[in-house]
Homo-oligomer: A and B are copies of this chain.
Amino acid sequence: MLQTIGMQAKAAVPMMQKMNTDLKNKVLKAVGDALIGNTETILAANRVDMENGKTSGLNEGLLDRLKLTSERIRGMAEGLYQLVVLEDPIGEVLQMKKRPNGLIIGQKRVPLGVVGIIYEARPNVTTDAFGLCFKTGNVVVLKGGSDALHSNKAIVDCIRETLTENAIDVNAIQLIEDTNRETTTAFMKMNEYIDILIPRGGAGLIQAVVKNSTIPVIETGTGNCHIFVDESADLTMATDIIINAKTQRIGVCNACESLLVHEKVKDALLPVLAERLKEFQVEVRADQQASALMPGAVEATEEDWGTEYLDYIISIKTVTSVDEAIEHINKYNTKHSEAIITSDYMNAQKFLDEVDAAAVYVNASTRYTDGFEFGFGAEIGISTQKLHARGPMGLTALTTTKYIIYGTGQVRP
């Protein structure tokens, strides 16, 4: 079964690689329309998954990721419409130049081939992954979490119907419906059929893929994201950014999980912040100095500094300098998104230079690390590794290049 899926994916590659941009755009638009047109069918399937999820005791963060609404489906369609207007990167030739011997050497953007995506219970990943892969001429094979199986099947059915209506091989997108672990492990070793594997989900899933896959992997991110409030910070701005980064949406990888506060502003900041966090019922786990200023705070343990809560919990630590903040962040972070709130030029530049992460912010919420917010359209994930792509991955992350060389008989002396 898995073998058949692999062969069908590979067979769809030449068709996808030759497809012109006009047709790709027409189909993306049609798929977006079909998603909206099938809202009731998709929501009905999603309700089955939500009921099952509640029964099996999924936590609030996971249920939030799983849940679809007509507004969220419209958002998924919107992601596809945004791709229509984005430039197709395939065929672009970078850096064509003439060498002294007369060879003309260019670097041409081409599709990767077959992209495998392993993800958890976020049905919106299904349309994002399809849209980005389709626009870049890649075939996609999806392995979603069992908790979202009904939602994903409804979405993929909708997409494949639209492909059929446009006389395109439906195997441009396939969903692996078998959700047992052995199938997933076998999928990670299909080097013959899959060119690149992108896991998207929690730390457990990602590490399992990194450890077991023999296919090249792009590691997408868990986010233990920090905000550091420097001594020169505008404290109203700091409070607004912390509240936004912590509470605007808790179940996402770019939410703030840990706060570092310069000791010189802790007295002015923390009591006010405690009041604001209380409004959202955020649990505070803090070191002694911070706890003393925040009624109801519990003492943080070593484990808290390294934890991505994905919940209404925040850890808080007092530091004595920007250097101590940077050192703490580089020790405990997951290389995702980090922010400094400051009015000091040197400290801002130092933080940008020395913090090792995919996205480093001055005076803004970490919640902006996102393909839409960066202007890429839908994103395939946020890479926290250093190879190929780092940060939100849009269209070009799903391409590779090949050198094309025009000669007139050159031989190497």
Contacts and interface: CB of A to CB of B under 8 A. Distances in A.
Interface of A: 97, 99, 103, 105, 107-108, 112-113, 195-196, 210-211, 214, 216-219, 234, 237, 240-241, 243-245, 248, 352, 356-365, 367-369, 373-375, 385-388, 390-392, 400-412
B360 A412 contact: no
22 contacts: A97-B375, A105-B375, A196-B387, A216-B216, A216-B385, A218-B387, A240-B409, A241-B411, A248-B411, A356-B402, A357-B402, A358-B402, A359-B403, A359-B404, A362-B407, A363-B406, A363-B409, A364-B409, A365-B412, A368-B410, A390-B400, A390-B401
Contacts of A373: 99, 103, 412
Nearest to A212: B214
Nearest to A406: B362
A367 B407 CA distance: 13
Contact of A362 (B216, B402, B405, B411): B405
Q: Identify the interface centre among A385, A390, A404: most chain B CB within 10 Å of its CB.
A: A404
Contacts of A195: 386
B103 A364 contact: yes
B405 A367 contact: no
B409 A216 contact: no
Given A360-B402, A391-B403, A410 B374 contact: no
Contact of A112 (B217, B237, B362, B386): B386
Contact of A412 (B244, B374, B375, B406): B244
A173 to B, nearest CB: 20
A243 B412 CA distance: 10
B234 A409 contact: yes
Nearest to A241: B411
Contact of A211 (B214, B356, B403): B214
Nearest to A392: B403
Contacts of A369: 403
B386 A113 contact: yes
A364 B358 CA distance: 41
A290 to B, nearest CB: 22
Contacts of A112: 386
A210 B214 contact: yes
A313 B359 CA distance: 52
A409 B237 contact: yes
